[in-house]
Amino acid sequence: RSAAALGWDGVLLAPRAADPLYRRAIKTSMGAVLEMPWARLIDWRHDLPRLQAAGFEVVAMALRPDAVSLPDYAADLRARPRPIALLLGTEGDGLSSRWLGQADITVRIDMARGIDSLNVAAAAAVACYALGVTTSISG
């Protein structure tokens, strides 16, 4: 829903991601899943390099001290526009080290002191907004 509302082109789902056509998912997304192009990837190990070969910069979202801050990455993206594929992990565990290792860059959303993280839906909305404003949203 956030990706659709913020003008992203599509959503790629991991092989084990929940079914977006499940009745509850359609209801929760307010039907956005029916409007937003999406596809389920078969194997991330092969599909991420294909995205990179097609010119996408693969951006992993993770709370790591060595990650670039979201505002810094967004500024770089505005200065040097390029297509990106945003990777978001699961609630709790986040992205595995394998997926982090395949990303071109890791970006973090800085948290206020005493707060360790956002849930994945909130993090997705923040990242989609910050990184999607480099392109115009028509409507």
CA distance 19 to 110: 30
- Are 67 and 106 within 8 A, CB to CB? yes
Q: Which residues contact 102 (CB under 8 A, 6 or more apart)?
A: 44, 45, 48, 49, 58
Domain ranges within the chain, ordered by starting residue? 42-132
Classified by CATH at the fold level, domain 42-132 comes out as Alpha/beta knot (3.40.1280)
* Tokens 């945003």, located at residue: 86
**65-120 pLDDT, tens per residue?**
899 999 999 999 999 999 999 998 887 788 889 889 999 999 999 999 998 888 88
Looking at the whole model, is its pTM more than 0.85? no
User: What is the bridge-based pairing of β-strands 105-108 and 57-61?
Assistant: parallel
Q: How many residues does the chain have?
A: 139
- The DSSP letter of residue 63 is -
**25-65 pLDDT, tens per residue?**
676 666 666 677 778 888 888 889 999 999 999 999 999 98
Q: How far is CA 44 from CA 4, 73, 92, in A?
A: 23, 24, 20
